[in-house]
Amino acid sequence: MRQRLLWKLLIGHIVPVFAIIALLVWRAIDRRAADYYSVLVERYRVMPAESHHLFLSAVHRDLLWGALTALALTLLLTYMLTHWVLRPLSRITAITRKVADGNYSERVKVVSRYEVGQLADAFNHMADNLEKIEHLRKNMVADISHELRTPLTNLRGYLEGLSDSVIPPSPETFRMLEQEVLRLVNLVEDLQQLARADAAKAFLDRQELSLHELLEQIMNLYRPNFQEKEIDVQWCLEPGTDRVVGDSDKLLQAIRNLADNAWKYTPRGGNVTISTLRIADEIKTVFANSGAVIAEQDIHYLFERFFRADRSRSRDAGGAGIGLAIVKELIEAHGGTVGAESDASGTRVWFTLPV
């Protein structure tokens, strides 16, 4: 590909230009020489036919050799320059084939800060994202398998025990089986909510809403949960951050997931702060809670599906890692953004909505 493109550039651009220039100069010399010798004939009454012919032959010969020499030098320099420019493209082509085959580890060496270098940077950025997506996909498959395998294994064990009369058919046993079935049902419902969140952009019922009322509605619903863990809930709602345009049901679901997340991951006796503030043409809502610091390398994956910062946490306490992914889909469907940060003072999960 590189050689074909190289010769196309050389032949298609340089040779025609040189041919046209040489032809124009050739014709110009013929005309100027004819005019010059016509003046000699009129002024000095000479007949310079032979000298005229010799002059044109010499000029044409020198012009031809000069054009060929200039063409050769230009072809050589252009070949070297074009070869240098096309070399990264050949590297990108080779690596693209590897990426298409599933090898995301290769990167293009950036040798320029101009167009070709910018292309290499863009390609490397794309390869980085593809590698991250592939890593998340594999983790998601493993997490889904784990989510399904644990309750199914428990169900199978208890059912085999009941069938073999090893386990007595007591109310406690049936309650245990019911809990495992409910875990499966909750996982399926979470996946259905995620699928609906993916399609939310096309089915938003937008209307003017009170963001403060939506927040208070969900926090009133979760008040017993926070009181049971003795969590102190504080509010910091700036004036002028109340009115937004969006789908009430979808925003309530996003806020509910954030409230549920804050309740689950805030330790007993901790505190949660809900705040809103105006930033340019957006309203930012922040759920801040005390608790363990989330590692910096995990912050970027909090809104990915089935990701949990603490993989050793019980599935009953920590959930399947879908809640924040649903928040991301719902908020981005409204044209907003989501984010998180964590340090010694606590963890802050936020979303913005355009005004």
The residue to which tokens 């983790």 are assigned:
139
Q: pLDDT value at position 136?
A: 67
Residues 247-267: tens digit of each pLDDT: 888 899 899 989 988 998 899
279: helix, strand or coil? strand
Q: Can you tell me the mean pLDDT for 284-308?
A: 82
Contact criterion met (CB below 8 Å) for 3 and 25: no
E-strand stretches of the chain: 207-210, 232-237, 243-246, 271-279, 282-289, 337-343, 346-354
- What tokens does 263 get? 């309740």
| DSSP labels, 220-268 | HHTHHHHHHTTPEEEEEE-TT--EEEE-HHHHHHHHHHHHHHHHHHSPT
- Please say if the pLDDT value at position 317 is more than 60: no
N-to-C CA span, the chain: 51
Contact criterion met (CB below 8 Å) for 219 and 274: yes
Looking at beta carbons, which pairs linking 287-290 to residues 24 or more positions away fall under 8 Å? 287/258, 287/259, 287/261, 287/262, 287/348, 287/349, 287/350, 288/346, 288/347, 288/348, 288/349, 289/262, 289/265, 289/346, 289/347, 290/266, 290/345, 290/346
Q: pLDDT value at position 123?
A: 83
> Which strand ranges, in their side-by-side order, compose the sheet holding 282-289?
232-237, 271-279, 282-289, 346-354, 337-343
Q: pLDDT value at position 199?
A: 59
Q: pLDDT value at position 295?
A: 83
Domain 204-354 CATH assignment equals 3.40.50.300: no
Alpha carbon 138 to its chain centroid, in Å, reads: 18
- What tokens does 98 get? 């590897």
Maximum C-alpha span of the chain: 136
- What count of Cα atoms within 13 Å lies in the side-chain half-sphere of residue 62? 6
CA distance 72 to 33: 28
Least confident of 45-49, 98-102, 203-207: 45-49
Separation in Å, CA 292 to CA 4, 218, 270, 346:
59, 24, 11, 7
CA distance 109 to 294: 34
- What count of Cα atoms within 13 Å lies in the side-chain half-sphere of residue 6? 18
Separation in Å, CA 194 to CA 135, 206, 326:
20, 20, 5
Q: What CATH topology corresponds to 128-198? A: Helix Hairpins (1.10.287)
- What tokens does 246 get? 């969006």
Confidence band, pLDDT 50/70/90 cuts, at residue 40: low
- What tokens does 47 get? 């007949």
- Please say if the pLDDT value at position 287 is more than 90: yes
The residue to which tokens 């199978």 are assigned:
156
Q: Can you tell me the mean pLDDT for 47-55?
A: 58
* Sequence spans of domains, the chain: 2-103, 128-198, 204-354
CA distance 317 to 309: 13
Q: Can you tell me the mean pLDDT for 216-241?
A: 92
